[in-house]
Structure 1
Amino acid sequence: MTTGDLSDGPIVVGTDGSANAADAVAWAATLAARRNRALRIVHAFTTIPGLRADAPPIADVNDAVTEEAGRVVAAAGDVAKAAAPDVRIETGVLNGDTAPALVAESRSASMVVLGATGRGGFTGMLTGSTAVAVTGHAECPVAVVRRRDDGTLAADDGPVLVGVDGSPLSECAIAVAFREASLRGVALVAVYAWRDVEYDGAYTRAPVQFAGGPHEQEQRELLAERLAGYRETYPDVEVERVVVLDRPRRQLLERSRTASLVVVGSRGRGGFRGLLLGSTSQALIQHAGCPVLVARNPRGR
């Protein structure tokens, strides 16, 4: 059993001055205060789109962009202080592409936090490649702060939701989820959904009775075993176990609407070898109804 303890590094949050980035900053500030960690606010930019970070800068443009970057970081600091007055704040203005900059920050961070969408250096974060690149390559857990479909923030008193599939990264997700539930003082809902196919037909809708197929009682026992040690470590956390014949992403997406946080591994037992981010994790960071925390083994392993 892993402990779910993260490194002693700061909580790193990326900002671009957008409303969604402000959500991420406030969320990260509260998390940093709860964990007694420093909050590092960073803004990544390039002076001219497509210009290499090591190319000779155009002085006037570079000065203007750098000045604006400083204002963005300062405004984010005000947001952080409003959310968590006692949080310790560090700042960084990074000249370079966003995803590589945040991946580099992850090497000394306990967590990287991103907003759902952004502008400037973070434009298209979820619909493009940035979120996938950061979440897939980071060397620490990555949280993507999302609002519900109606535009409201997830309630702080909602349960922490965790997807369980028996993989090593799922084990890491369980550890992180228990710790988060304990720190927040909320319940934990552990979901074990064992159908990984992506199509519906008469065969897949039928009860699982074929040779070698999973049986509900066996899956319930497996889930109980996965959670047992953590329940001893975190006796204050109320646990609900959910075992269901369904696709994991559908169950987690539906249940995320009433959760305060959903925790998953970066990839599970159903993933293809070599993939850095599984399909369930990708679906959640783009469509969940609450913040999503993608757990990773220490230092990205």
Structure 2
Amino acid sequence: MAHLIEASADAALLVIGSDYKGPGSGPARGAHGVRIAAGAKCPVVVVPDIDLGERSGVVVGLDGSQTSEAALRFAAIEADRLGEKLIAVSVWTPLQAPRNGLAVYPDLYLTNMQSATEEVQALALAGITSDYPDLEVERVVERGYPSHVINERASSARMAVVGTHGRGALARFLLGSISQEVLARLATVTAVVR
């Protein structure tokens, strides 16, 4: 593992395999993949033992952060290169409020969360259509938990792309929780981008 992380310093891309066969095939896998993706200095692609067969599209998780912008660029390049549709996924999760155990939210709150997430996604995608005029882009904005929604969409896609966060000394072997959860339950070939 340390040799791969060290080698990533001079690499444009690091590709590693996984014997994980997808959701429903047993316990979550990927401790080494998670550690390598967290420590690598370049994008890491993890390839599970899954038949891509009739799958199509490149799914990318967007949250408006700089790392998700890098993930978007990577995903757009791959989708364009492969002649696949880009599926931009943005997910919002309602805040847990004390004494709201039944999770009842006012309609205005839910509508505003959906609208705000749609705006963040639209801003992120603004330059993609001009940079890749032939690229078909499907926009998905929904309520849920990000890693679940991304992996659900990725289960029928050729590739998924997510961003990771910070590289400080403390964060060296940590990924963002969403990236880690997506890698733990690989639904397709998955790229983790800085």
What CA deviation, in whole Å up to 9, does each residue of 1:63-85 have, x standing for no partner? xxxxxxxxxxxxxxxxxxxxxxx
Match status 1:135 vs 2:33: no
Secondary structure at the residue paired with 1:293?
A: strand
Give the deviation of 1:207 after TM superposition.
5.1
2:164 is the alignment partner of 1:266: yes
Q: Which residue number in structure 2 is paired with residue 187 of structure 1?
A: 85
Counterpart selection for 1:231 from 129, 154, 166: 129
Match of 2:75? 177
Residue in structure 2 matched with residue 103 of structure 1 by the alignment: 5
1:256-301 CA-partner distances (Å, limit 9, x unpaired) = 1100000000149xxxx947302221122221221110011xxxxx
What CA RMSD, in Å, does the superposition of the two structures yield over aligned residues?
2.8
- For structure 2, the residue ranges without an aligned partner over 5 or more in a row are 21-27
Alignment equivalent of 1:217, drawn from 88, 91, 115: 115
How far apart are the structure 2 equivalents of 1:253 and 1:214? 25
Report the secondary structure of 1:162's partner residue: strand
Change (3 A) 1:172 1:201: farther
1:285 aligns with 2:183: yes
Identity rate, percent = 34
* 1:83-94 matched pairs, under 5 angstroms: none
Structure 1 distance, partners of 2:45, 2:30, is 17
Distance 1:117 1:266 in 2: 23
Q: Using the TM superposition, give the Cα deviation of residue 155 of structure 1 relative to its aligned residue in structure 2, in angstroms.
A: 3.4
Alignment of 1:31-42 (within 5 A): none
Q: Which amino acid aligns with 2:189?
A: P
For residue 293 of structure 1, what is the amino acid of its counterpart? A
Distance in 2 of aligned mates of 1:197 and 1:100: 39
1:114 matched residue in structure 2: 16
Structure 2 residue identity aligned to 1:284:
V
| Cα distance in structure 2, aligned partners of 1:222 and 1:283 | 23
Secondary structure of residue in 2 paired with 1:154: coil
TM-score (norm. length: structure 2): 0.82
2: CA distance between counterparts of 1:259 and 1:128?
20
Q: Is the 8 A contact 2:18 2:30 kept in 1?
A: no
Equivalence for 1:202: 102
Give, in angstroms, the shift of residue 218 of structure 1: 2.7
Measured in 1, the distance between the counterparts of 2:59 and 2:72 equals: 9
Change (3 A) 1:145 1:224: same
Q: Distance in 1 between matches of 2:40 and 2:94?
A: 26
Report the alpha carbon displacement of residue 169 of structure 1 after superposing the two structures with TM: 0.6
- Aligned-partner residue type, residue 249 of structure 1: S
Which structure is larger by alpha-carbon Rg, 1 or 2? 1
For residues 135-178 of structure 1, the C-alpha deviation after alignment (integer angstroms, 9 at most, x for no partner) is 00101000110134xxxx12375100000001111110001000
Q: How many residues are matched?
A: 180
Which amino acid is the alignment partner of residue 217 of structure 1? Answer: S
Q: 1:128 to 1:141 in 2, by over 3 A?
A: closer
**Which fold has the larger relative contact order, with Cα–Cα distance below 8 Å and residues 6 or more apart in sequence?**
2
Rounded to whole Å, the distance in 1 between the matches of 2:171 and 2:112 is: 26
5 Å-filtered alignment, 1:63-82, equals none
Task: Give the TM-score taking structure 1 as reference length.
Answer: 0.54
Cα 1:175–1:286 change in 2 (3 A) is same
Shift of 1:131: 1.6
